[in-house]
Amino acid sequence: MTPALQIHDLSVTLGGNTILSGVNAEIGTGEFVGIFGPNGAGKTTLVRCIIGTLVPSRGSIEVLGLSPRQAARQIGYMPQGHGGFDATALSARALIEAACDGNAWGIPWTSEAARQEVDRVLEVTEAAHYAHRPFSVLSGGERQRVMLAQALLGSPRILVLDEPLASLDPKNQGLLIECVARVQKSTHTTVLFVAHDMNPLMNVMDRVMYLAGGGAALGKLDEVITSESLTKLYGTDIEVVRTQNRVFVVSAEGGVTESECAHHDHD
């Protein structure tokens, strides 16, 4: 069976800086993979290669056995951050309708079929009851569920979510993760979930991918998030600390790496 995602010897150089170098990975259909790493480790760069908006300098990526561009319709993508709607009264629903068949030519008329599809995805993410309100007045958690609904348009086989938990409180993080996990289980969708903190995702992830120093480690949490494995990846001493089902990645000099703890100060 064709894997959902196959990355072979992937390298990306941007403006003279090598962001990713020699990354290999194979992700199976229906897997839930969390993608982590410190800022600048190339998480978003990897995402851009997967969705086909960035062409790698070397190596290859196959999505469902196709090139990322060919597979574009099979990928549901949730970009990092969104804004610029503050001055408009456009409803959440109007935004999703614009994205539904957004590739078609002609005038932006929403067909009955498109309307039903929009209804369906809004139901899945439990965003239907506020979707008529202007996007600009929604809370952070509500906005993310609208964006997730949008990523589900057309029932994609792979979901690529770029930091959807950023700036959400733990309760809303939980709601969003629950929703993604439900979609993954019920429709056997592959999920690539980029996040800063792995702890909220502990119970839903099948495997983790950790990016650092241009490389990537992919495997079960217990294999990847260990002192040896991350020390090798970072090229400097790293210690993994576990307390009551929570994981922290700490550099041996005592500084906590960017990856986990900045977030916990607020919890």
**Which has the closest alpha carbon to 94: 76, 114, 79?**
114
141 phi/psi in degrees, rounded to 5: -65, -40
For binding to another protein (CB under 8 A), which residues are involved? 51-53, 69, 72-73, 75, 77, 79, 82, 84-85, 87-91, 93-95, 97-99, 101-109, 132-134, 137, 150
Shortest gap between Cβ of 187 and another protein (angstroms)? 20
Question: What is the per-residue burial (b if ≥16 Cβ within 10 Å, else e) of 54-82?
Answer: bebeebebbbbeeebeebbebbbbbbeee
Spatial contact of 193 and 5, defined as CB atoms under 8 Å apart: no
Shortest gap between Cβ of 74 and another protein (angstroms)? 11
Shortest gap between Cβ of 258 and another protein (angstroms)? 23
Shortest gap between Cβ of 177 and another protein (angstroms)? 21
**C-alpha distance from residue 185 to each of 31, 101, 178, 191, 206 (Å):** 9, 26, 11, 10, 12
Q: Judged by CB, which is closer to another protein: 138, or 250?
A: 138
If residue 193 lies in a helix (H) or strand (E), which one and from where to where? strand 190-194
Distance between CA 56 and CA 183 in Å, rounded? 30
Return all residues near 124 (Cβ < 8 A) that are at least 6 apart.
149, 152, 179, 182, 183
Q: Judged by CB, which is closer to another protein: 104, or 113?
A: 104
Q: Judged by CB, which is closer to another protein: 18, or 111?
A: 111
Strand partners, 62: 6
Shortest gap between Cβ of 91 and another protein (angstroms)? 4
Shortest gap between Cβ of 128 and another protein (angstroms)? 15
Q: Judged by CB, which is closer to another protein: 109, or 244?
A: 109
